[in-house]
Amino acid sequence: MSTRSSVPTAADLLRRAGEIIDRHGRVALAHIVRVEGSTAGKTGWKLLVGPDGSVEGNLGGGAFEAMVIADARARLGARRGDRADAPRTRSDGCTPAGASGPSGEIKRYYMTEEATKGQATGMACGGFAEVYLEVIEAPPVAVVYGGGPVGQALARGAELGGFDLVVLDDRPDFRRPELFPEGARLPEVGRDFALPGGGDPLEPIAGRPLYAAVVTRCWETDVAALAALLAASREQLVYLGLMGSHRKIDRVKDELAALGQSLDGLHLHAPIGLDLGGDSPGEIAIAILAQMIQARHGRG
């Protein structure tokens, strides 16, 4: 949460916005684009609101800034944080940002007790400010467990599909950068799919929605991958798929249950991918990617 001891520059805020998006997948940006008369803030002033409730930047303070924060949070769909100057109720029906709605709008705030167009702040400055409110979202994250032929083909397809990419394999030869698209994250993991020392390889993107495809080399590594994923990132899963025969899938489920891990409440796509009829690594990857895209757009 920001403090008033120092006001970050525009460059600082944009850099911070990138950090928030990288970790949480989205951030709300409020930017004063026009003022008239006496106002609390000036054209060009900016403020960020994060999904975790954090607020950084400056629009001039007071009831005006509190209303903008409330509107940004409503668009973001985040829970209200502990910011003391944020109003407790809303009456203007601001629509939260979502997959099917617009990401931005311009709202006018009057620094007066009443307003005929826009929203009154109850302040006595006398002017008004127009603020562009925008939700900036990162691409979805495809997490590919297994760097073999299917995993490599899926990674290439996921890049074309607009996904950020994480590939996890315990074998160094199957996470070589030249096998995957530029920019893919290829953390070193052990057979338990944890970082050296036991850390979670998905921790840097702990707040982002995940589309996970488990396409490892055997049922044992499937179990290890799923156990690690469910323990650390269950709530982030938008899509979860497991490659293999029905017999293998039943074995994996039994082994997970023995470890105390349940798939209850999750829609597991197993066997993974749409039934397109192909069986080459590239064809399987295309079938998986198509299913991921269905899930991304709420159609599967």
Using the 3D structure, point to which of 118, 137, 156 is the last residue of a domain.
137
Longest pairwise C-alpha distance within the chain: 72
Same domain? 221 vs 96: no
Q: What is the pTM of this model?
A: 0.75
Same domain? 101 vs 220: no
Average pLDDT of the chain is 85
pLDDT in tens, 248-285: 999 999 999 999 998 888 999 999 999 999 999 999 99
Q: Does residue 252 or residue 96 have the better pLDDT?
A: 252
Confidence band for 99, pLDDT divided at 50, 70 and 90: very low
Which of 45, 47, 51, 44 minimizes the C-alpha distance to 21?
A: 51
SS3 38: coil
Distance from C-alpha of 34 to C-alpha of 120, rounded to nearest angstrom: 16
Same domain? 290 vs 149: yes
**Structural domain count of the chain:** 2
Q: 64 near 111, Cβ under 8 Å?
A: yes
Same domain? 110 vs 152: no
DSSP secondary-structure letter at 116? S
Which of 115, 135, 137, 139 minimizes the C-alpha distance to 127?
A: 115
Q: Is the peptide bond before 271 cis (omega within 30 degrees of 0)?
A: yes
Same domain? 36 vs 70: yes
Confidence band for 104, pLDDT divided at 50, 70 and 90: confident
DSSP string, 226-249: HHHHHHHHGGGEEEEEE-S-HHHH
Distance from C-alpha of 278 to C-alpha of 296, rounded to nearest angstrom: 23
Domain hosting 164: range is: 141-296
Distance from C-alpha of 241 to C-alpha of 300, rounded to nearest angstrom: 12
